[in-house]
Structure 1
Amino acid sequence: MPLLVMKFGGTSVADLARIENAAKKVQKEVERGYDVIVIVSAMSGKTNELVGWVETTSKLYDAREYDAVVASGENVTAGLMALRLQEMGVPARSWQGWQVPINTTSAHGSARFLSIPRENLDAKFAEGFKVAVVAGFQGVSAEGRITTLGRGGSDTTAVAFAAAFGAERCDIYTDVDGVYTTDPRIVSKARKLDKIAFEEMLELASLGAKVLQTRSVELAMRYKVRLRVLSSFEDTDENSGTLVCDEEEIMESKVVSGIAFSRDEAKITLFTIEDRPGVAQAIFGPLADAGVNVDMIVQNISEKNYGSHPGAVTDMTFSVPVNQVPRAQKAMEDARAAGLIAYDDLVVDTEVAKVSVVGIGMRSQVGVAARMFKALANEGINIKVIATSEIKISVLIDRKYMELAVQALHDAFELDKV
C-alpha cells in the first residue's frame, strides 16, 4: 500500500476534541487507500509543565531522567490517538520510541538519529493494521535509555520516518494553513505560498520563521522528502497547504519568496584588535567552545588604522542571540585574560533585529540588494550590518524599525502578488 506520514503538533492535539479531529483526518487518508504513520507531539503546554516539574525537583538534574520525564507527554498523546482511531474502526497501534526502535545518539536533550529499522512496523502493517501512531521527539540510545531530540523534534521525527519508509509525502499539520511570504500578523497582505523550495524553507526557518523546525527541513532536503504544511483546523484536500519540495518542481520562482525576521538579536563589537592571521580563530574559537551561536560577522577598518601604522589593528562585529550575550562577553573576557586576544573595548547593542529577504530567484537576478537597500532608505531605516549568501540578504537594524522594514520590503518585492 502507498504510505503517508502525518505529523500533528501540540496545538493540533491539545485536548480530546482536537485529538478526535486529527484522528478524522487520519481516517480520511486510510479511506483513500494509504497506510499511515502518525507522529504526535505532546498536548499543548504539557512539555513545558513536565520541564517545570523536573527543574523544581532537581536544579542540577540528571539528563537521562529529564528525558524519561519529558518524553512521557508524547507517549500519552500516542496512546490516546490510537484509542480514538480504534473507536472509529481504524486498526491502529501506538509506538514509543524504544519500541520501533528509533535509534539515536546518547546526547540527552539533543539526540540525533542513527537509524529507524522498518521491520517491526512493517510486520504490523502486514498483519492488517492501517495506522502506526508513533510518539515524536524521542528515541533510544545504545545504552537502552530514552532520549529526546530537542524542541521541535517531532517535525524531525516525521521527516525521518518518511525517509526511512519511502513515504509518498510527509504532511505537517499545525495551527497555520501553510507557509506565508512573511508573518501575516505583521503584514496583512502576506500571501500563502503554494510551493517553496527546500533551500528557501531552510533559510526562512533558520532566520526566524517558526513554521518548521530547521533540522526537519535539512533532513527533508537531504533525502528529498516532499513536505506539506497545512492546518489541522480546516478541511483539507490534496491541494491544501504549502508543498516544500525540490527546486525542479517549481516552474517559475519569484526573485524573493519571503521575508524573515528575528527580533531577539544582539550586536557585539570588539574594538582595536590586532590585524593578523589567526585573530578570527582567537575570537570565534572561544565563542564556539562556550556554545555561542554566532551569525553575521563583519570585520571593519579601525579608525586607528589611519596613522603611522596602517593595517595594524581592526574592529570585529558579529551578531548573537540576545540571550547568549552574557556567555559571549565572558568568553571574550576569558580569552583576553588568557592572552589569546587583545582589544580596547567590547560594546554590546541589544536593541537590534535581523531582517532577511530569501529567494532562489536571486541566483539569476541582479539588483536585489539595491532594491532592498532603497526600500529601507526610503523609510529612513539605517543598516548596521549586512550579510549575504546565494539566496538571501540579511541586515541588522534598530529593533524599533523591524515591523516597518518587513512591511516595506514586502511591498518593494510585490510579494502580495502571485
Structure 2
Amino acid sequence: MALIVQKYGGTSVGDPERIKKVASRVARFRAEGHRVVVVVSAMSGETNRLIALASQISSKPSPRELDVVLATGEQVTIGLLCMAMNELGVKAKSYTGSQVRILTDSAHTKARILSIDETPIRTDLQEGSVVVVAGFQGVDELGNITTLGRGGSDTTGVALAAALGADECQIYTDVEGVYTTDPRIVSEARKLDTITFEEMLEMASLGSKVLQIRSVEFAGKYKVKLRVLSSFLEEGEGTLITVEESGGMEQPIISGIAFNRDEAKLTVLGVPDRPGIAYQILGPIAEANIDVDMIIQNVGRDGSTDFSFTIGRADYERAMEALAGVKEHIGARSIAGDTSMAKVSIVGVGMRSHPGVASRMFRTLAEEGINIQMISTSEIKISVVVDEKYLELAVRVLHKAFELENPATRGLTGAG
C-alpha cells in the first residue's frame, strides 16, 4: 500500500463532469489500497475571472486582499471534489491551505512555503479518508491568507509529498507527460519516459509550461519521486522525473528544446568602458524588481561599449523608465529596445560528454538564415536569442538536427 499525492490542474477539474472523473480515478486508487492525498487547482479560467473581478474594483488592489479573493477558487474545487467522492461512497475531507497550516512567508501573490503541519492529514489517512487540499495557497505567521503565484498548486503537491514522505507525487495535467518540445509546433515531438531533475529544471526555467519551476526545485531538493501524467487518459506511465541519468548507449545528447516568446532586448549604446559600469546600468533594473536574463557587452576601439541584456517583455516599459535616468548619469549615447525577441534553448545532460553540440546548433540555424543575437550556455543547456518570427522554424530544425523526433517518423536510424 503506497502513499500517493496527486495534483490535478485547472483543466482536469474544469467542470462538474471532469471533477466527477477525477473522483472516480481517485476512488480506484483508494480501492487498490493506496492512501491518497489530492491537491487541486481552481477550475479552469476561475483565477483569471477573479483577477478580472478585482480589477473592476481597483486598478491596484492590495496584495493581501487580492490573495483573499484568489484563494476562493481552490476552495470551491476541494468542496466539490469531496462531494463527488462521497457520492461514490469514498470518505473524503477537504482542507484549505490555512487549515493544513501550509506556513509561508508574507510575500503576497508570490509567497514561498516555509513549513507544513501534516499531522491532521496523517490522522485522516489512518482513518481511511482521502484528503483533498487546496493548492496555490497558504497562511503566514500572522494568519493572513497567501498565494504562491501562477502554477503554485504544483509546488503545494510536491511540498506535501515531501512533508508526508510520499512514495510518489503525480502531477495530472492536460498532456501525457514531458515532450521533447511543444507538439503544437513539432508534430513529431516525442514523449519522454524519464528526464532528470536537472534537465526538467532547465526546461521549466527556459519556457516549458509543463511544471512550475519552484515545484521542480522542491522535488529535486527533497528527492520526491515526481511523475507527469494526463488526467484525460485512463492508462499511461507519463514521464518520471528522477535524480538518476538514464546512462548507457541510448543516452541522448539532447533531451528537449524549450522556448520562450516573452523576451525583450535592451541596449545601452556608447557606454564609457570603465569599472562599475555594469552595476550602474543593472542596479536600477534590480531596484525595479526586474529579472535580467542574458547579458552581452561589446567593447569598441574608441573606449566605449554597447551593453545589451534581455528581460521579460512585460517588464519592458518599466525597464526603459529605469534606464532613462541612467543614460545621462553614465554619459551613454542612446538607449535602444526591441520587444520582438524570442529565446530557443537545447537541454540535455548528454552534452557533457559530447563535444560539438554548440557548433551543430549554430550551423543548423545558420543554414536556415536565422541570425543569433545573443548566446548563453551552462553545462547542460545552450540558449540563443533570435527574432521572434524565426522561433517556430528554429525549434523545428533543431528538433530534427538532434534527432529528437519519434523513431517511427524517421525510419530505423538511431542516435548519431
Normalised TM-score (structure 1): 0.94
For 1:245-269, what per-residue CA distance to the aligned partner results, in whole angstroms no more than 9, with x for missing partners? 1134665531111111111211111
Asked if structure 1 preserves the Cα contact closer than 8 Å seen for 2:188 and 2:406, the reply is no
* 2:394 maps to 1:405: yes
* 2:290 maps to 1:292: yes
Deviation, 1:370, is: 0.5
1:243 to 234, 240, 243: 240
Specify the alignment match of 1:176 in structure 2.
175
For 1:90-129, what per-residue CA distance to the aligned partner results, in whole angstroms no more than 9, with x for missing partners? 1110001111111111111111101001211112222332
Specify the alignment match of 1:254 in structure 2.
252
The aligned runs of 1:259-338 (5 Å cut-off) are: 259-302=257-300, 305-306=301-302, 312-337=303-328
Specify the alignment match of 2:230 in structure 1.
231
Asked if structure 2 preserves the Cα contact closer than 8 Å seen for 1:195 and 1:250, the reply is no
Asked if structure 2 preserves the Cα contact closer than 8 Å seen for 1:152 and 1:213, the reply is yes
Q: Which runs of 5+ in 1 are unaligned?
A: 307-311
Specify the alignment match of 2:61 in structure 1.
61
Alpha-carbon distance between aligned partners in 1 of 2:403 and 2:367, rounded to the nearest angstrom = 16
Asked if structure 1 preserves the Cα contact closer than 8 Å seen for 2:342 and 2:391, the reply is yes
* 2:373 maps to 1:384: yes
Deviation, 1:273, is: 1.1
Q: 1:26 to 1:80 in 2, by over 3 A?
A: same
Specify the alignment match of 2:133 in structure 1.
134
For 1:208-249, what per-residue CA distance to the aligned partner results, in whole angstroms no more than 9, with x for missing partners? 111111111111111111111111001125xx1111111346
Alpha-carbon distance between aligned partners in 1 of 2:37 and 2:186, rounded to the nearest angstrom = 36
Specify the alignment match of 1:394 in structure 2.
383
The RMSD of aligned alpha carbons is 1.3
The aligned runs of 1:97-112 (5 Å cut-off) are: 97-112=97-112
Q: 1:84 to 1:33 in 2, by over 3 A?
A: same
The residue matched to 1:179 in structure 2 has which SS? coil
Alpha-carbon distance between aligned partners in 2 of 1:44 and 1:313, rounded to the nearest angstrom = 52
Alpha-carbon distance between aligned partners in 2 of 1:62 and 1:327, rounded to the nearest angstrom = 20
Deviation, 1:55, is: 1.3
Asked if structure 2 preserves the Cα contact closer than 8 Å seen for 1:354 and 1:395, the reply is yes
The residue matched to 1:285 in structure 2 has which SS? helix
Specify the alignment match of 2:411 in structure 1.
none
**Matched length:** 406
Deviation, 1:334, is: 2.3
Alpha-carbon distance between aligned partners in 1 of 2:178 and 2:19, rounded to the nearest angstrom = 23
Alpha-carbon distance between aligned partners in 2 of 1:48 and 1:388, rounded to the nearest angstrom = 35
For 1:343-391, what per-residue CA distance to the aligned partner results, in whole angstroms no more than 9, with x for missing partners? 1111112222111111011111100001001111111111111111111
Specify the alignment match of 2:165 in structure 1.
166
Stretch moving more, 25-34 or 289-298: 25-34
The aligned runs of 1:194-213 (5 Å cut-off) are: 194-213=193-212
Stretch moving more, 184-193 or 265-274: 265-274
Alpha-carbon distance between aligned partners in 1 of 2:306 and 2:203, rounded to the nearest angstrom = 29
Alpha-carbon distance between aligned partners in 1 of 2:112 and 2:325, rounded to the nearest angstrom = 31
Q: Which runs of 5+ in 2 are unaligned?
A: 408-416
Q: Which amino acid aligns with 1:169?
A: E
Specify the alignment match of 1:309 in structure 2.
none
1:354 to 343, 357, 369: 343
Deviation, 1:60, is: 2.8
Alpha-carbon distance between aligned partners in 1 of 2:399 and 2:128, rounded to the nearest angstrom = 50
Asked if structure 2 preserves the Cα contact closer than 8 Å seen for 1:287 and 1:331, the reply is yes
Identity %: 56
Structure 1 runs of 4+ aligned residues shifted over 3 Å read: 248-252
The residue matched to 2:54 in structure 1 has which SS? helix
Alpha-carbon distance between aligned partners in 1 of 2:245 and 2:352, rounded to the nearest angstrom = 15
Specify the alignment match of 2:15 in structure 1.
15
Alpha-carbon distance between aligned partners in 2 of 1:95 and 1:72, rounded to the nearest angstrom = 12
Deviation, 1:32, is: 2.2
Alpha-carbon distance between aligned partners in 2 of 1:258 and 1:249, rounded to the nearest angstrom = 15
